[in-house]
């Protein structure tokens, strides 16, 4: 339960110097906040081409076709917000907090304001973000798209999102995070609090597409109630300076399910510290964490934690990494933690290069070594994200081509 506002402010202020638990430490003073100078648009079709292109690269279609709603946040401003479905609402979190008094019980509840300096700064900043609520019993067919973009160089962006999927509702959200073409250095802080109620389901796909010098510090908490399902897909393929994220899903109702799929390529110079944690605290809950990562010169750390606190739970963690080329670091840190008997918790992890016998097998069908490696790498990543939208698959293919993964 969040405490009263003054106390939260106090706690956040005290945490402004607190380093994150993992990953490079960023000095918030290096970046300035930018907002206010960005025009507002009424429909995706009005957006300038460079913004449309940036959205496309992050799996978000800049159109009202094929989706049930769109929100675009640039820096700390909401510049587009439209939806055309009565199964859910999509609004600026700041408006939502004013409109709904009950929302304060959800705000800064799944993520602590004083977790580290990034949560603290986001809290103190009166940050924008999306509030998405799928109404009880409604099945929203088409995905809702959100795009969070950094528009100015040397800026710090703070975003606070809340998603509530009410009892029996289901919804899919595609969230792309990116930066404008003239942005090189920036810091993104994004707090997401996700609540999946009884018998509800949420499929949440996030694609990150940043630039060479951008630091990224998402902080995500998820609470899943009885028989609720939460599926999380995370994809990062392009250049970035440092991403450190460790979303935690708490399964608090009987039979709740969480699945985390991660697909990552660590480009040269990148630090990717990617984790997923599921705490199974009610009977018969299920969790699965699957990650597929490749380093082509950067460093990637795959953390995964499963905590079993109730009986008859089932949880599995599968973490596979490839090292392509001569440099690069790939680390797998799977962790299982059982607090009761009657649990079934397993993990598999493996690291290495592309298997030579597989490459030769494909070559024996007439493909060059590069083509064969490309095919295997694509397959390797594909296993991490079965069921992902086709547009995003195309982006993955593009990244494989561009990364020159094949020549390893």
As measured in angstroms, the least distance from the Cβ of 377 to other proteins is 9
State both tokens at 321. Answer: 């990494």
* Residue 224 to residues 99, 337, 358, 391, Cα–Cα distance (Å): 24, 19, 40, 28
Q: Which is nearer to other proteins, 21 or 355 (CB)?
A: 355
Please give the sequence-ordered ranges of beta strands (E in DSSP) within 253-312, or none if there are none: 257-266, 271-280, 286-295, 299-308
d(CA 162, CA 393): 27
State both tokens at 40. Answer: 């507002």
As measured in angstroms, the least distance from the Cβ of 378 to other proteins is 7
As measured in angstroms, the least distance from the Cβ of 366 to other proteins is 4
Q: Which is nearer to other proteins, 124 or 351 (CB)?
A: 351
Quick check: 269 and 237 in contact, CB under 8 A?
no
Q: Which is nearer to other proteins, 216 or 396 (CB)?
A: 396
Binding site for other proteins (CB under 8 A): 355-358, 360-369, 371-372, 375-376, 378-383
Q: Which is nearer to other proteins, 11 or 378 (CB)?
A: 378
d(CA 289, CA 307): 12
As measured in angstroms, the least distance from the Cβ of 282 to other proteins is 33
Quick check: 190 and 215 in contact, CB under 8 A?
no
As measured in angstroms, the least distance from the Cβ of 228 to other proteins is 29
As measured in angstroms, the least distance from the Cβ of 373 to other proteins is 12
From the list 186, 191, 80, the residue with the least C-alpha distance to 125 is: 191
Q: Is 20 left (phi over 0), alpha (psi -120 to 50) or beta?
A: beta
Q: Which is nearer to other proteins, 79 or 373 (CB)?
A: 373
Residues in the chain: 408
Q: Which is nearer to other proteins, 335 or 360 (CB)?
A: 360
């Amino acid at each position: 339960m969040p405490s009263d506002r003054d106390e939260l402010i106090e706690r956040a202020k005290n945490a402004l110097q607190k380093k994150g638990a993992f990953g490079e430490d960023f000095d918030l003073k290096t970046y300035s906040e930018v907002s206010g100078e960005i025009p507002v648009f009424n429909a995706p079709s009005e957006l300038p081409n460079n913004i449309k292109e940036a959205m496309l690269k992050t799996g978000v279609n800049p159109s009202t076709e094929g989706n049930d709603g769109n929100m675009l946040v640039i820096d700390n401003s909401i510049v587009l917000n439209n939806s055309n479905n009565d199964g859910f609402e999509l609004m600026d979190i700041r408006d939502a907090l004013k409109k709904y008094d009950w929302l304060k019980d959800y705000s800064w509840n799944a993520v602590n304001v004083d977790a580290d300096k990034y949560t603290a700064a986001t809290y103190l900043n009166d940050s924008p973000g999306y509030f998405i609520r799928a109404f009880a019993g409604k099945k929203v067919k088409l995905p809702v798209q959100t795009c969070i973009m950094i528009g100015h160089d040397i800026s710090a962006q703070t975003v606070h999102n809340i998603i509530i999927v009410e009892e029996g509702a289901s919804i899919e959200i595609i969230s792309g995070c990116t930066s404008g073409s003239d942005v090189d250095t920036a810091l993104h802080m994004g707090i997401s609090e996700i609540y999946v109620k009884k018998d509800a389901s949420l499929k949440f796909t996030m694609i990150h597409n940043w630039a060479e010098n951008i630091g990224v510090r998402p902080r995500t908490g998820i609470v899943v109630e009885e028989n609720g399902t939460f599926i999380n897909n995370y994809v990062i393929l392009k250049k970035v300076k440092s991403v450190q994220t460790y979303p935690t899903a708490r399964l608090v109702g009987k039979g709740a399910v969480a699945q985390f799929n991660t697909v990552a390529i660590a480009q040269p110079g990148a630090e990717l510290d990617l984790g997923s944690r599921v705490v199974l605290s009610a009977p018969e809950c299920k969790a699965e964490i699957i990650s597929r990562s490749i380093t082509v010169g950067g460093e990637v750390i795959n953390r995964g934690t499963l905590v079993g606190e109730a009986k008859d739970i089932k949880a599995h963690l599968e973490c596979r990494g490839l090292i392509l080329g001569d440099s690069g670091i790939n680390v797998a840190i799977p962790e299982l933690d059982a607090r009761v008997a009657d649990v079934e918790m397993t993990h598999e992890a493996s690291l290495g290069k592309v298997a030579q016998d597989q490459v030769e097998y494909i070559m024996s069908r007439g493909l060059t070594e590069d083509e064969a490696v490309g095919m295997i790498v694509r397959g390797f990543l594909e296993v991490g994200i079965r069921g992902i939208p086709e547009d995003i698959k195309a982006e993955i293919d593009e990244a494989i081509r561009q990364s020159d993964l094949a020549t390893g």
